[in-house]
Structure 1
């Protein structure tokens, strides 16, 4: 596991590599919007339809802010696409998720053993689909989605971002 300051630097480098900004907060104790202290770690949350949605728990506020930035980017893109199509913000269909993955140069990672057919995607007790990934021997929740394809798209975006972060860390620490 990387030291704390290196993890923060990798998160900032990943944000830059992905063309994202870590959203500052003038009032929050962490300095980032949507990021809160959670015991000795940091939680990322966003409000959707009047309810708080948990995005994950992270070691540094920068990692939590990166998750928040990735989430609002995806949300903005979905809202803009819905506005262009004259539709309301609805979950992506299987075809739409596959098209989004193709447009971003991603592949939805298949799984021969999971019930959803996608790696990192499980159906939860509420009938929704959770995207999760194992990092440093621990499961990390990436988000909850209406369709397995949306969850698989989130998983694919995350593993692409992880690769970018690792490459950025390699460049900054030769």
Structure 2
């Protein structure tokens, strides 16, 4: 099948991560150097060879002119247009934050709650609560600030009961308790979370999701509560401090582990003795002792009944 060649500028070449850097183009060296690069596509489950070329560019142009190549080019163009429409520059993100009256929290190395993504990701910056990946740090910080603001101004009637309660002290969160949010967007009373961080050093983690609290108190963001949240009539409950809570969990875990080990050992012993009695017909030692028989153990033969004592027969033994 011969396809008319076109200029590279008028054709969108489809890139790929294979050895030739172009999709559906393969290097098949042979005796004829003019047929080194082959173009193959899968149509209805059958691998079809389109043509062979001497240069890599000609083979890439050939695939770009096929129906499959045009479809891939349309997908790439659509994705590129969507990315350019969604991505913000640093200046645009800062201007949007000023317009929406949002504060982009910063620390010594950048923005609070914004981390650089691994090298495999196309966009270099991300947040740890899966808000998305972004091209600039400012855009990622703006997304986080919007999420915090949305949680702060949510109507109290539609909010969950636990959303207005500090998970540490189990008390209603009010404006006088200075509520703050961690980098993972969990809200606590400032005094509670600062006490937690101080007692959990040097590796402080969030009490809710166990995310590392980098920078300790520097990673906390003040959260303004809505007016309806200040007038919350939730019943007050007496909570535990972090040390008492951790001690209770450790004690409960140790008690449960000890009880489970005892139950397992008892069940294993009963199963083994029951199986021995069932298969051999010989009664258990505890039953012999109850019946008045005293076994005499020998050092050379491992153990036997004392001479002169009648061993009970399995057939006449009553369990």
Please confirm whether the aligned pair reaches a TM-score higher than 0.5, indicating the same fold.
Answer: no
Structure with larger RCO (C-alpha < 8 A, sep 6+): 1
Question: TM-score when scaled to structure 1?
Answer: 0.40
Normalized per residue, the structure richer in strand is 1
Question: TM-score when scaled to structure 2?
Answer: 0.23
